[in-house]
Amino acid sequence: MGQLSLNEANRAASRVASRLGISRREFLQWCAATAGTLGLPVGAEAAIAQSVAAAKRPSVIWLHFQECTGCTESLLRTDHPTLVKLIFDVISLDYHETLMAAAGHQAEKSRKDAMAANKGKYILVVEGAIPVKDNGIYCKIGGHKAVDLVRECAADAAAVIAIGSCASWGGMPSTGPNPSGASSVAEILGKTVPNIPGCPPNPYNFLATVVHFLTFGSLPAVDKLGRPLFAYGRLIHENCERRAHFDAGRFAMEFGDVGHRKGYCLYKLGCKGPETYANCPAIGFGDVGENNWPVGCGHPCIGCTEKGVGFTKPIHSVARMLNVAPPLQYPRIVEEQGKGASFAAAAALAAIAGAAVGGGAMLARNLGLSHEAEQLEKERAKPKASEKTES
């Protein structure tokens, strides 16, 4: 889609703002924020505004399986502008067990009617893991097994999105011994699908993925685990506001200690940020500031967006460093002022340092010269033989 003129973008924004009951400024701010989240170039916000204003709302079928509904709850608690208003205008949510008014046979009819009317065009969103053990009998909806529903609804979908860690890689339901055989959407369908992991995931990561599909007719680029790169392309550790403390060797050693109260790094308390990819420290949660996320609130990251980390590794075990390993020894936070060192101490330290860096020969040479000078001074200080005779 080509870049729109300023007037066209303004008209599109005004139409949507009027329809949503929000100001034009609020809508344009949302478009710019979405473009920034996706890492799009300047001018992309105009294309987003035009797409939302002109495109026919895509039908969305949202399935729930083995989960706590936390992903949906998180989606409902966003506010710039109110996502409840925006999500119902950007998409047509034709089936969602938690939010829809219909129930029973009426709900099932809504799903089937939406699939038939939008064949090949609807978006399928799956929340929750899918059990496969004992032929998938451990989760049924409307008399249909979860595994059958996923395959049926995915067959004619234009796009399939797995939201939350449970749908993305099994999440908590798949934790050993996994008695129900909880599996991910990708495992059930046998292909890579866009995953928006998290427990819960940040709702704007999901919304930005949908808007990208609306604007460009394709889903955003993903990593090897199917996660959108715009949201899961960097380690949490790289963007963490406590990173400076890590680099300086300042760690909280236990909850409530001085370091914990001062906001020191939580690595030694089990923070999984060094091995977890997500944008949590960049955008936070709940629209109340970037610090409103687990580490910002004083608790270690549990790695909920990372397969094999969240709900697998003990919550307070030390993370595996993926980019930089901490040294074995850090300088103390406050160092006493030195008072000099004896020749023996300096020689021993120089020998150790020289062996470590391969410069031992030069250091030994310099120390040797210093030793010779010291001995010469001692010789000069001794009384001469003639002086002894006179005395």
- Residue 160, pLDDT score: 94
Average pLDDT, the chain: 80
- Residue 361, pLDDT score: 46
pLDDT digits (tens, 9 = 90+) for 200-257: 998 888 888 888 888 788 888 999 999 999 999 999 998 899 999 998 889 999 999 9
Q: What is the rounded CA–CA span in Å between residue 347 and residue 53? A: 76
DSSP assignment letter at 79: B
In contact, 301 and 294? CB cutoff 8 Å: yes
- Residue 380, pLDDT score: 72
- Residue 359, pLDDT score: 46
Joined tokens for residue 58: 């895509």
Higher pLDDT, 376 or 29: 29
Q: What is the rounded CA–CA span in Å between residue 302 and residue 199? A: 10
Mean pLDDT of 248-271: 93
State yes or no: pLDDT of 1 exceeds 70: no
- Residue 307, pLDDT score: 92
- Residue 360, pLDDT score: 44
In contact, 35 and 27? CB cutoff 8 Å: no
What share of the chain has pLDDT > 90, as a percent? Answer: 42
Neighbour-count burial for 60-85, b at 16+ CB within 10 Å, e otherwise: bbbbbbbbbebbbebbeebeebebee
Helix H or strand E segment including 91: none
State yes or no: pLDDT of 331 exceeds 70: no
pLDDT digits (tens, 9 = 90+) for 337-351: 555 555 555 555 555
Residue range 234-335, CATH number: 4.10.480.10
- Residue 367, pLDDT score: 44
pLDDT digits (tens, 9 = 90+) for 74-103: 888 776 555 566 556 677 888 998 888 888
CA distances to 68, 70, 139, 213, 220 from 128, rounded to whole Å, are 8, 10, 11, 22, 22
300-303 — which CB contacts under 8 Å span 24+ positions?
300/266, 300/269, 300/270, 300/271, 300/272, 300/273, 301/236, 301/266, 301/271, 301/272, 301/273, 301/276, 302/272, 303/272, 303/275, 303/276
Helices (H), the chain: 6-20, 24-38, 44-54, 70-75, 83-90, 105-117, 146-155, 165-169, 185-189, 203-216, 229-232, 236-239, 243-248, 258-261, 280-283, 343-357, 360-381, 385-390
What are the φ/ψ torsions at residue 162 (nearest 5 degrees)? Answer: -95, 120
Kindly report the number of other CB atoms within 10 A of residue 102's CB atom.
13
- Residue 334, pLDDT score: 55
Q: What is the bridge-based pairing of β-strands 123-127 and 159-163?
A: parallel
Mean pLDDT of 39-65: 76
Higher pLDDT, 361 or 167: 167
Q: What is the rounded CA–CA span in Å between residue 234 and residue 232? A: 6
Name the band, by pLDDT with cuts 50, 70 and 90, for residue 363. very low
State yes or no: pLDDT of 371 exceeds 60: no
pLDDT digits (tens, 9 = 90+) for 111-144: 999 999 999 999 999 999 999 999 999 999 988 9
Closest CA to 279 of 223, 243, 235, 323: 235
pTM: 0.72
Residue range 55-232, CATH number: 3.40.50.700
Name the band, by pLDDT with cuts 50, 70 and 90, for residue 364. very low
Would the CATH topology of 55-232 be identical to that of 234-335? no
CA distances to 165, 191, 197, 267, 309 from 175, rounded to whole Å, are 12, 22, 15, 24, 11
Q: Where are the domains of the chain?
A: 55-232, 234-335
- Residue 58, pLDDT score: 80
Joined tokens for residue 304: 């909920």
At a CB cut-off of 8 Å and minimum separation 6, what does 268 contact?
251, 252, 253, 318
State yes or no: pLDDT of 295 exceeds 60: yes
Find residue 124's DSSP bridge partners: 61, 160
- Residue 137, pLDDT score: 94
Q: What is the bridge-based pairing of β-strands 123-127 and 144-145?
A: unpaired
Joined tokens for residue 57: 């709302």
